[in-house]
Amino acid sequence: MDQARAFRLLPSVEEALVRLGPRALDLPGGRERATELVRELLDRWRQDLRAAALDEASLGARLAPGAFESAFDAVVEREARRGMVRVINATGVVLNTGLGRAPVHAEVAKAMGEAAMSYVVLEVDRDSGRRSERDQELSRQLARLTGAQAAIAVNNNAAAVYLVLSTFAWGGREVVVSRGELVEIGGAFRVPEVMIRAGVTLKEIGTTNRTHLADYAQAIGEKTALLMKVHTSNYRVRGFVHEVPMAEIAGLAQQRGLPSAFDLGSGLIDPPKAAPLTGLGDEPRVVEAVQSGCNLVTFSGDKLLGAPQAGLIVGTKAEISLLRRNPIYRALRLDKVSLAGLEATFRLMLDGRGDELPVRRMLLTTAESILPRAQALAQALASVPRLDATVVEERSQPGSGSAPDVFLPTSCVRVVARALGEEELLMRLRQGEPPVFARAHAGAVLLDPRTLTDSDARELVRAMAAAVA
């Protein structure tokens, strides 16, 4: 095939616009947007030609009457679906960072929607009419849930760690951390790098596998500002290892008149009357971290807590108010929508309804109760032509670097499309409406009911039928 001749087949943007006529020019956005979309389509085809993924004959077919118009319509449709749309999470990964981590409870979402649409009591006291703090109620709720004296909320846990460091050790003062705890959390949050950006000096102690209390004691000097412990959320070191419990570090800090902080990552809180989230291995609980006697505990809102995205810091009154007085707090604080969502989540927890939170519900679901759901899904998928669906025993993961060693027993539907490879099927599912995300394993696509609602499952059957059609 002559690729040079194929290139000459491609119309110019002008010619294409003339050909498409009102179909392009009457789009909302008018000529300007139509031009962009046509250019995008032609550029893509040009790239395919260059990569020899398209030849003259196929290009000719794409440019045939009707075909070109449909291709343009598809570009328009895809553009309309860009950005943040609802997806069906069939991965079984409960806290899927790529898919937005924790979905919130319907009542929480409602509270967030109402706050977004209206004025709210944010920084004003209803009785006196005077200015107040925006997270006063949240601080009270978190104190009740964790036993801490006070709390403050920022954008995410990365911001929480940054605020703690910048408040206590800004100006090059030293923060003592064990070498074994200098973690990188997904998305390039590296504890040592955050420390540098927060203007503090990292004082590494111990070795990768073993750190002792004496290492902390020896590291304390003139410039020491803070002793910090970091939970190694997303990995475990095994074998000849030793780490110092927070209680011992906190005790040492107190003796030397220093503050101490514990970055927990996942903020596991078992609310009153809720079934405890057992089966998550050694994942530390916020209550225990508070009881260990450290001044500050930092954790995420949207990991095991199942709340909207936030960085939560609980601790002693004096230290929390120092955080509040740091000018950088202003750049990290939460908006009314997130605060409304957090307050609503904590209200549910304090009302003894913590088990209704979607994240807890999904994590607590047993393999026994998933099995009939997998069987029903497999049966529904049996009606889709060109598809084989069987039920297999599998394992789901909590996700988001929480409890990295923990696998929750589950049953999945194993799907093989007779005419499609598993990667092609996954791609079609992602591009479908609504998009479906699942995982590939050993030549098949696995659908895990753990992260599906019943209505998701029904939509999933339609999405699967469309993907293999």
Ligand X SMILES: *Cc1c(COP(=O)(O)O)cnc(C)c1O
- Count the helices and strands in the chain (H runs, E runs): 20, 15
CB 156, min distance to ligand X, A: 3
Q: Closer to ligand X by CB, 154 or 447: give it.
A: 154
Here the tokens at position 343 are 């307050």
CB of 114 to ligand X, least distance (A): 25
Helices (H), 81-190: 106-117, 136-146, 157-169
Please, which residue, 231 or 428, has the CB nearer to ligand X? 231
Site residues (vs ligand X, CB under 6 A): 156-158, 161, 185, 189, 230-231, 233, 263, 265-266, 300, 311, 401
Closer by beta carbon to ligand X, 308 or else 432: 308
Q: What angle do CA 306, 310, 313 make, to 5 degrees?
A: 105
Residue with the CB atom nearest ligand X in the bound state: 265
- Minimum CB separation of residue 157 from ligand X in Å reads 3
Min CB(177)–ligand X separation in Å:
12
Coil vs helix vs strand at 190 = strand
- State the nearest-atom distance from the C-beta of 96 to ligand X, in Å: 13
Q: Taking the complex as a whole, how short is the minimal distance between the CB of residue 89 and ligand X, in angstroms? A: 18
The answer to whether 292 touches 262, Cβ cutoff 8 Å, is yes
* Contact assessment for residue 20 and residue 33, using Cβ atoms and an 8 Å cutoff: no
Residue 162: name the closest of 390, 326, 384 by CA. Answer: 326
The residue among 163 and 463 lying less far from ligand X, judged by its C-beta, is: 163
CB of residue 101 vs ligand X: minimum separation in angstroms? 8
- Among positive and negative, which fits the CA dihedral 197, 249, 325, 347? positive
Checking DSSP bridges between strand 189-190 and strand 260-266, what pairing results, if any?
Answer: unpaired
Q: Cβ closer to ligand X: 155 or 365?
A: 155
Rounded to a whole number of angstroms, the minimum distance from the CB of residue 311 to ligand X is 6
Angle, in degrees to the nearest 10, between helices 157-169 and 317-325: 90
The sign of the CA dihedral 380, 382, 383, 388 is positive
How many residues make up the chain in this entry? 469
In the complex with ligand X, the residue whose CB is nearer, 206 or 265, is 265
Does residue 166 contact residue 326 with C-beta atoms inside 8 Å? Answer: yes
Q: Classify residue 219 as exposed, middle or buried by CB count within 10 Å of its CB (0-12, 13-18, 19+).
A: middle
Task: Return d(Cα 453, Cα 465) in angstroms, integer.
Answer: 19
For ligand X, give the closer residue by CB, 224 or 266. Answer: 266
Nearer to ligand X, 314 or 370 (CB): 314
